[in-house]
Amino acid sequence: MNEANESKKDSGEGLVGQLLKFLELFWEWFFAALHPTRCCRKLLAIKDSRTRMQSSAKLWVPSFVVALIVDVPLYHLYGIELDTLGFHLASLLWFTAAVALSGFVIQLGLSWYKVRSNLADVMSIFACYFVTYQPIGAILSYPVDLKCYAILSSAKKSGADFSHALGLILSGSQSIAAGLDAVLVSASICSLIFIALTCIGASLMALTLAEHYSRPKVVCFKALAFSFSVLIVPVLAFEGLLSTYVAYAFLK
């Protein structure tokens, strides 16, 4: 009897412990979002590369979860519920792959401009200034996603295959988007804010890299501009294609 009670108590404490760890993770993410520069300083002060990578990866999960919560109403509108595990796991996979590839590609851009950077440093800085703000990205891409999902859903209902649906999205399908004037108007404003925030994040990243590696500011700006406009474009296009395909497969 006593043993059973003790094991119940242990499992209860274990659950509380897990919950506290989970909350701690969220608190760390929240702190990073409030003070990105301070968080970046903290991460870069970690000597061991592996520990630094692990610490920066801890910011990805809460960021993804909050972004997912933001997107729940949108998914619900098109028949994707929270229990559609396949969709959310695939989204998490594409998100993680996109973050890892973007970090790698930025590292490539930096080495192209002869900045002797370290992948763990680049990933940490990228996580602080970009990945942390994924929920804001989700809010800002809401109107564009709404338009895309409306087109995808309409194409799927009419029996069109994925390539046809993709063609409709790329051409901005006026007939389907005709009743979405408010969405289109918000989409253009949100895109503008998104671009402005990306530029601010990239500038902060360039300044951080310049100081961390004692390189001229202009060299880091050039390297990041090259990475963001030339190297990241194919990565994001591929990630967008896969995400659209997953959405098309799960839409009702």
Which residue ranges make up the site for another protein (CB under 8 A)?
37, 40-41, 44, 181, 184-185, 188-189, 192, 195-196, 199-200, 202-204, 206-208, 211-212, 216-218, 221-222, 224-226, 228-230, 233
Closest CA to 127 of 234, 68, 42, 210: 42
| CA-CA-CA-CA dihedral for 89, 135, 121, 238, to nearest 10 | 50
Contacts for 194 with CB less than 8 Å, ≥ 6 apart? 137, 140, 141
Smaller CB separation from another protein, 233 or 249: 233
Which H/E stretch holds residue 164? helix 162-170
| CA-CA-CA-CA dihedral for 117, 206, 105, 46, to nearest 10 | 50
Cα–Cα distance between 197 and 191 in angstroms, integer? 10
Q: How far is the CB of 131 from another protein (least distance, A)?
A: 18
Smaller CB separation from another protein, 72 or 182: 182
Q: How far is the CB of 173 from another protein (least distance, A)?
A: 13
Q: How far is the CB of 38 from another protein (least distance, A)?
A: 9
Q: How far is the CB of 219 from another protein (least distance, A)?
A: 9
How far CA 35 is from CA of 32, 199, 227, 243, in Å, comes to 5, 18, 25, 30
Contacts for 7 with CB less than 8 Å, ≥ 6 apart? none
Smaller CB separation from another protein, 65 or 210: 210
56, 43 Cβ separation under 8 angstroms: yes
Smaller CB separation from another protein, 86 or 172: 172
Smaller CB separation from another protein, 68 or 220: 220
Smaller CB separation from another protein, 40 or 110: 40
Q: How far is the CB of 230 from another protein (least distance, A)?
A: 5
Q: How far is the CB of 34 from another protein (least distance, A)?
A: 16
